[in-house]
Chain A
Amino acid sequence: MNFNCFNQPLTEEKIMKMMNLVYPMTLALAVTLAATGCRNHRPYGVTPIPNGRGGQVGDVGAGNTLSSSQMAGGGPQTDINSFDNMTQDRAALANYTIHFAFDSSTIRHSEDANLQSVASALNSDRSTKLIIEGNCDERGTEEYNRSLGDRRALAAREALAKLGVDPARVRTMSYGKDKPVDPGHNESAWSQNRRDDFVLLHPKTGA
């Protein structure tokens, strides 16, 4: 109900108009009071609750496949999709995983040799591409770790660029703390989990 009208002065005409509303309301109130016996421990209002759950979720059915045509916002800025039709080779560079200090995305000198090996693999076969997967230990909040993992992957991409790898051939992915290699809750596990994994991509045969 809107009471803004009462900010204006009450003319007799307006009062009479209101009374036209008040009489039926008063009558209704009187009838209600009579019906309920006007005893204050009886409920004076019945609130119907609609059946079914509140906020029922629509079915995510089979028709809900996502395609790039459904993507708003002009679609991908980079040629991110060019990485999709390639074969992932997780074994090729598995020995060159690099590790980080706690809460840091700075690449330590101890990791230089591994990065050099990754760069050599990429530089020796120009048809390949690379995914760098940034990961964190569990000591950090979830979305913070997703950004930290992102920084770790991006730091490796920058380092590889200095070693001659075109950044356009490199895609970064952060998994935050969702993909630990060691599920333990101690420093030995955490130090293994703070890492960048390198995944080599080959063109699909026949492509």
Chain B
Amino acid sequence: MKNCITICLSVLFAVLAAALCRGQSEQGEIQITRPVSELGNTKPVPVSIEGFGPEVTDILKFDLYVQGFTFVAPDAAQYQISGSSADSVVGRVVDRFAKRTILSRSYNGAALRRQAHAFSDDVVLAITGKKGIAQTRIAFKVQAASGNGEIHVADFDGHNYQAVTHDGTIVSAPSWVPGRAALYYNSYKLNNPDIFYHNLNTGERHVIAHYSGSNISPAASPDGSRVAMIMSRSGSPNVWVANADGSNPRKLTSTSEDSSPCWSPDGQWICFATKMHERRVLAKVPADGGEVQVIRTPGTPNPTEPDWSPDGKWIAFTMQAGEFDICVMPADGSASPVILVRGEDPSWSANSRTLIYAQRTGGHYVLSLLDVYTKQVKDIHQISGSDSEPAWAK
């Protein structure tokens, strides 16, 4: 009898393990192809939300809306999300078609807001199999009318914001070091546009580039060991790469008017905006040096501000034809860019689905989130002044 149970259990366990292993390898390969035609055209997933208090309901709706969900009555929903939030968040998700509960969980500790974000991440994972974005952080600059500003960090929805700098000078282009609570940014604190490295845990910071001319637009490599930036110390603004501490700077390009470098997630390429034959184009250059290759962006004039998605598949950028528009194209150039919404300076979420970007309204900027598949947009919680140059922590 005992042998029988042992065999039964070992078979069951082996099957479970095999299923888990398969799930892992599928995630590792990332072969789920999403055709370009889905960009901006995907139907949102209909869900219902019931039982929570107004604060938690609002948070859940915000979080899910910018990840491709829409809200309907329970009898029209594909997934029914319900629960309560009297003292703490308790929630579950029922798959109405499969007629089963796919998530049932309660949360304690911290504020309701954080519990709600944790639940929404679990909802997204249960329904899509992808990690949600609700517990991620952003960095951006807040600028006053004087032109001076400060670097800020906040939750992805703009709440819990905090100033990182208190210098009363021009700042720009914060960039997270992946996996670390650390930023690079440009500051004019030393009466020159220099690049700073700032450890957010200790508050310690260092100037890593203070050369004659511009030292701007820093971008940490995916492994954090290097930093790409624009420097003009050799007479023209070009792409340079240095070690994380600024040592061993190396000039990669000789094009004119380079700006906004970003890394491919494998660390092999640096994509940037430049000018060739008096036309603005996107280009890429091997991070170890090599030939500059133009990235064609048919139908989207004056491309700038590229950002390579963490899954490697997309490049988001800003095009300018009078107004500014957010565009997304396959990184391999296999299809033309898709123009999504008005806006500038997109930055990808870690799960490569949502973009944060800046929008002009009157004389200032506000920050917004865009789900690139459904084109659903929400403004984040705004701080006074002009909020722009967002960078999403990866």
Chain A interface residues (CB < 8 Å from chain B):
3, 6-7, 10, 15, 18-19, 22, 26, 40-61, 64, 66, 68, 70-78, 80, 84, 105, 139-144, 146-148, 150-151, 154, 171-176, 178-179, 183, 185
Report yes or no: B110 in contact with A141, Cβ–Cβ below 8 A.
Answer: no
Report yes or no: B14 in contact with A6, Cβ–Cβ below 8 A.
Answer: yes
Residues in A with CB closer than 8 Å to B225 are none
Residues in A with CB closer than 8 Å to B352 are none
One digit per residue, 1 when the CB lies within 8 angstroms of any chain A CB and 0 when it does not, for chain B 39-58 equals 00000000000000000000
Report yes or no: A80 in contact with B245, Cβ–Cβ below 8 A.
Answer: no
Binds A, one of B61-69, B71-79, B202-210: B202-210
- Provide the bound-state CA to CA distance between A106 and B236, in Å: 14
Report yes or no: B216 in contact with A18, Cβ–Cβ below 8 A.
Answer: no
Interface residues of B in 338-378 (CB under 8 A from A): 344-345, 363
Report yes or no: A144 in contact with B260, Cβ–Cβ below 8 A.
Answer: yes
One digit per residue, 1 when the CB lies within 8 angstroms of any chain A CB and 0 when it does not, for chain B 163-192 equals 011100010110000000100001001111
Residues in B with CB closer than 8 Å to A173 are 192-193
- Provide the bound-state CA to CA distance between A141 and B247, in Å: 29
Secondary structure at chain A's binding surface: helix, strand, loop or mixed? loop
Report yes or no: B14 in contact with A10, Cβ–Cβ below 8 A.
Answer: yes
- Provide the bound-state CA to CA distance between A26 and B6, in Å: 12
Residue of A nearest to B6 (CB): A19
Known pairs A141-B304, A154-B236, A174-B216 / 7 extra A-B pairs, C-beta < 8 Å: A49-B108, A55-B200, A73-B243, A77-B211, A143-B305, A154-B235, A185-B363
- A150 in contact with B190 given A6-B14, A19-B10, A43-B92 (CB within 8 Å): no
Going nearest first, the 10 A-B pairs with the smallest beta carbon separation are: A73-B246, A58-B203, A49-B110, A178-B147, A78-B212, A43-B106, A72-B245, A147-B259, A147-B237, A144-B304
CB distance from A51 to the nearest CB of B (A): 5
Q: Let me know if B128 is at the binding interface, CB within 8 A.
A: no
Residues in B with CB closer than 8 Å to A143 are 172-173, 216-217, 230, 259-260, 304-305, 345, 389
Name 29 interchain pairs, CB-CB below 8 A, sorted by A.
A6-B21, A7-B21, A10-B14, A40-B104, A45-B105, A47-B106, A49-B115, A49-B118, A50-B110, A52-B110, A53-B160, A55-B200, A55-B393, A57-B153, A57-B164, A58-B200, A58-B202, A64-B205, A71-B246, A73-B242, A77-B212, A78-B211, A140-B304, A141-B320, A141-B344, A146-B217, A171-B212, A172-B213, A178-B143
Residue of A nearest to B189 (CB): A66
CB distance from A37 to the nearest CB of B (A): 13
Q: Let me know if B318 is at the binding interface, CB within 8 A.
A: yes
- Provide the bound-state CA to CA distance between A80 and B214, in Å: 12
Residue of A nearest to B21 (CB): A3
Residues in A with CB closer than 8 Å to B389 are 142-143
- Provide the bound-state CA to CA distance between A76 and B345, in Å: 30
Report yes or no: B118 in contact with A54, Cβ–Cβ below 8 A.
Answer: no
- Provide the bound-state CA to CA distance between A105 and B166, in Å: 33
- Provide the bound-state CA to CA distance between A50 and B135, in Å: 12
CB distance from A97 to the nearest CB of B (A): 17
Report yes or no: A46 in contact with B105, Cβ–Cβ below 8 A.
Answer: yes
- Provide the bound-state CA to CA distance between A2 and B130, in Å: 20
- Provide the bound-state CA to CA distance between A91 and B106, in Å: 67
Residues in B with CB closer than 8 Å to A174 are 193, 214, 216
Residues in A with CB closer than 8 Å to B260 are 141, 143-144
| B237 interface neighbour in A49, A68, A151, Cβ under 8 Å | A151
- Provide the bound-state CA to CA distance between A55 and B135, in Å: 10
Report yes or no: B9 in contact with A26, Cβ–Cβ below 8 A.
Answer: yes
CB distance from B137 to the nearest CB of A (A): 5
CB distance from A137 to the nearest CB of B (A): 13
CB distance from B201 to the nearest CB of A (A): 5
Residue of A nearest to B135 (CB): A54
Residues in A with CB closer than 8 Å to B114 are 49, 54
- Provide the bound-state CA to CA distance between A70 and B196, in Å: 11
> Residue among A42, A48, A73 with the most chain B CB within 10 A?
A73
- Provide the bound-state CA to CA distance between A48 and B297, in Å: 47
CB distance from A117 to the nearest CB of B (A): 24
Residues in B with CB closer than 8 Å to A139 are 320
CB distance from A104 to the nearest CB of B (A): 9
Residue of B nearest to A171 (CB): B212
Residues in B with CB closer than 8 Å to A141 are 259-260, 304-305, 318, 320, 324, 344-345
- A76 in contact with B210 given A40-B104, A47-B118 (CB within 8 Å): yes
| A64 interface neighbour in B135, B192, B204, B259, Cβ under 8 Å | B204
> Residue among A54, A148, A151, A176 with the most chain B CB within 10 A?
A54
> Residue among A6, A26, A41, A142 with the most chain B CB within 10 A?
A142
- Provide the bound-state CA to CA distance between A73 and B24, in Å: 41
CB distance from B346 to the nearest CB of A (A): 11
Residues in A with CB closer than 8 Å to B4 are none
Residues in B with CB closer than 8 Å to A47 are 105-108, 118, 122
Report yes or no: A44 in contact with B201, Cβ–Cβ below 8 A.
Answer: no
Interface residues of B in 297-339 (CB under 8 A from A): 304-305, 318, 320, 324
Residues in B with CB closer than 8 Å to A26 are 9
Residues in B with CB closer than 8 Å to A148 are 257
Residues in A with CB closer than 8 Å to B345 are 141-143
